[in-house]
Chain A
Amino acid sequence: MGEPFDISYVFSFLPKLLGTLNTTLLIVACSLLAGIIVGFLVALPRLYKVPVLKTCSEIYISFFRGTPILIQLFLFYYGLPEILKLVHVDMTRTPVLVFVILTYGLHTGAYMSEMIRASVMAVDKGQVEAAYATGMTGFQAFTRIVLPQALGIAIPVFSNLVIALLKDTSLAFTLGVMEMTGKAQTLGSLTQHFIETYIALALIYLVISYTIEKLLLVAEHRLLRHEKRSTPEKKSFRVHKNWSYRRIIAEMGSGKGGAG
């Protein structure tokens, strides 16, 4: 089983793995963008209860949340070209990365739509009514009143989703994409120092997910600053209020449990 453990390899592997970081981040960024767009499109029929589309989006969400991402990756990679061949579209020259981003985008989209739906619904209906009472139009009420509050509620879930997506990208190596995990496996089998490579890999993932979490925590504090109470005697109330937000988030159940 390989060479004896040598900690110096961990440090020499770090820069080599960081060289493929941009592929990982490219997958994360593109699928996140696709996921948000898909998420909005899928959440709207459910929020406004559009008859047929609502059922379609429910099936979509159920499928992508009900099957492992790995199966979805294979399904799209092997299935999409075959289906498109029926309508005479040739996909044999499409780079693998496109399939990977497509799958991750659709996968994240399902979770995003749940997040969007839950956070919009978590905003008190009275807020909208109050906005109407002051003479705002529906669009104004949504963009000025509902959206800012919903964003604040959604951020913790969003942060979890981004981190889950980052960790899910480690599966792209199964289709031969040279992202960090794929690179790590190559390095491991080249040098026979498997443990050191995977320690280096784990460290990089840890640092990135920690950074993302901290960044989004700052964003959350900024978006929820209207929740702040300046008077000290209301301090306990503030904790309680913040806690209730956390409860809502916990009950939304749109987070990804485990895995990734």
Chain B
Amino acid sequence: MKLDPSFIWTAFLQILSAIPTTLYITVVSVSVGFLIGICVALIRIYRVPVLYPLAVGYVTFIRGTPMLTHLLLIYFGLPVLIDGLAAHFGWGFRSVSVPMIGFAYISFSITAGAYMSEVVRSGLLAVDRGQLEAAHSIGMTTPQALRRIVFPQALAASLPNLSNSVIGMLHGSTLAFTVSVVDINAKAQIVASTNWKFFEAYLAAALIFWGLTFLIERLTSLIEKRINLYNRGGVA
């Protein structure tokens, strides 16, 4: 093995084709996770009777175990569940027809949901209660107050955490290779082992991830500037 700097570029071009898969996984898991997160956060904030301990347990379990175990549990557990149910109810649907990437979507969404619920919860709690009361006092209804007053502020407060979570999920998507999804990492492995140039291939993959992370950070700081316009200082 000898270092071959020019191969970094070759590998870079080949790995580029796997970017969409990684982005799909990230976008799906973050957006589904965000929806789960809002539900879980609201359950925890309003202490909904039966669901509250379930939500707490879900968040504790997911945050206390590695993302890889979630993926493996879903990958091995879900087919058993689906096939069991299918046999019981006589469905024509079998777990074999679930594509590999489906397991990644499901598992990463569940993972993201727990982290997102913390992001949403801390964002909502960061908004002063007086804001809601002030909105009520000028005659807004609660949904109006939430939508116009609370949510914009909560979003601004949770944006840094949100961006961290998105980057975390982007990086976590590299685990998808364990269930044979060809994302950037798996593509780098393929390129590396077919050419026997591991270092160059992984360096190219690292550069791509670095670039993607940089883009997300830039984008967030732009949105942050825009969203924090109300917070420009002045009298307060």
B111: A residues at CB distance < 8 A: 258-259
Binds B, one of A30-38, A133-141, A221-229, A246-254: A246-254
15 contacts between A and B (CB under 8 A): A1-B95, A68-B172, A71-B202, A71-B206, A75-B206, A82-B3, A168-B66, A195-B73, A195-B80, A206-B65, A247-B126, A255-B161, A255-B164, A256-B168, A258-B169
Q: When the two chains form their complex, are residues B76 and A253 in contact, meaning their CB atoms are under 8 A apart? A: no
Verify if A194 is at the interface (C-beta below 8 Å from B): yes
- CB < 8 Å: which of A2, A86, A209, A258 contacts B64? A209
Complex: chain A residue closest to B84, CB-CB: A5
Binds A, one of B131-139, B209-217, B226-234: B209-217
B206: A residues at CB distance < 8 A: 63, 67, 71-72, 75
Q: In whole Å, how far is A100's beta carbon from the nearest beta carbon of chain B?
A: 15
By size class, the interface of chain B is 35 or more
- CB < 8 Å: which of A1, A181, A253 contacts B164? A253
Q: When the two chains form their complex, are residues A202 and B199 in contact, meaning their CB atoms are under 8 A apart? A: no
How far apart sit A257 and B188, CA to CA, in the bound complex (Å)?
24
Verify if A16 is at the interface (C-beta below 8 Å from B): no
Q: Mark A1-25, 1 if CB is under 8 A from B, else 0.
A: 1100100000000000000000000
Known contacts A2-B76, A198-B73, A257-B168; A205 and B209 CB within 8 A of each other:
no
Q: Mark B29-63, 1 if CB is under 8 A from A, else 0.
A: 00000000000000000000000000000001101
**Given A181-B69, A250-B161, 14 more contacts at CB 8 Å?**
A1-B95, A78-B192, A79-B198, A82-B3, A86-B3, A170-B69, A201-B69, A206-B64, A251-B160, A257-B166, A258-B112, A258-B115, A258-B165, A259-B169
Q: When the two chains form their complex, are residues B80 and A1 in contact, meaning their CB atoms are under 8 A apart? A: yes
How far apart sit A80 and B188, CA to CA, in the bound complex (Å)?
17
- CB < 8 Å: which of B3, B69, B166, B185 contacts A198? B69
Complex: chain A residue closest to B198, CB-CB: A78
Q: Which of B64, B67, B205 has the most CB of A within 10 A?
A: B64
A259: B residues at CB distance < 8 A: 67, 111, 168-169, 171-172
Complex: chain A residue closest to B212, CB-CB: A66
B167: A residues at CB distance < 8 A: 65-66, 257-258
Verify if B72 is at the interface (C-beta below 8 Å from A): yes
B95: A residues at CB distance < 8 A: 1
Verify if A70 is at the interface (C-beta below 8 Å from B): yes
Q: In whole Å, how far is A164's beta carbon from the nearest beta carbon of chain B?
A: 9
Verify if A215 is at the interface (C-beta below 8 Å from B): no
Complex: chain B residue closest to A68, CB-CB: B171
Which A positions have Cβ atoms within 8 angstroms of B? 1-2, 5, 62-63, 65-72, 74-75, 78-79, 82-83, 86, 163, 167-168, 170-171, 181, 188, 194-195, 198-199, 201-202, 205-206, 209-210, 247, 250-251, 253, 255-260
Nearest first, the 3 closest Cβ-Cβ pairs linking A and B are A257-B164, A258-B168, A259-B172
Q: Mark B155-188, 1 if CB is under 8 A from A, else 0.
A: 0010011011111111110110000000001001
How far apart sit A75 and B63, CA to CA, in the bound complex (Å)?
27
Q: When the two chains form their complex, are residues B168 and A205 in contact, meaning their CB atoms are under 8 A apart? A: no
Q: Which of B3, B69, B185 has the most CB of A within 10 A?
A: B69
A250: B residues at CB distance < 8 A: 122, 126, 157, 160-161
- CB < 8 Å: which of B73, B83, B115 contacts A257? B115
A86: B residues at CB distance < 8 A: 3
Q: When the two chains form their complex, are residues A63 and B66 in contact, meaning their CB atoms are under 8 A apart? A: no
Known contacts A70-B174, A71-B202, A258-B172; A205 and B112 CB within 8 A of each other:
no
How far apart sit A195 and B81, CA to CA, in the bound complex (Å)?
11
A188: B residues at CB distance < 8 A: 76
Q: In whole Å, how far is A113's beta carbon from the nearest beta carbon of chain B?
A: 16
Q: When the two chains form their complex, are residues A253 and B161 in contact, meaning their CB atoms are under 8 A apart? A: yes
A210: B residues at CB distance < 8 A: 60, 64
Q: When the two chains form their complex, are residues B161 and A181 in contact, meaning their CB atoms are under 8 A apart? A: no
Known contacts A75-B202, A181-B69; A163 and B115 CB within 8 A of each other:
no
Verify if B28 is at the interface (C-beta below 8 Å from A): no
Verify if B18 is at the interface (C-beta below 8 Å from A): no
Q: When the two chains form their complex, are residues B209 and A71 in contact, meaning their CB atoms are under 8 A apart? A: yes
Known contacts A181-B68, A247-B126; A66 and B214 CB within 8 A of each other:
yes
How far apart sit A65 and B217, CA to CA, in the bound complex (Å)?
11
Q: When the two chains form their complex, are residues A260 and B80 in contact, meaning their CB atoms are under 8 A apart? A: no
Complex: chain B residue closest to A181, CB-CB: B68
Verify if B77 is at the interface (C-beta below 8 Å from A): yes
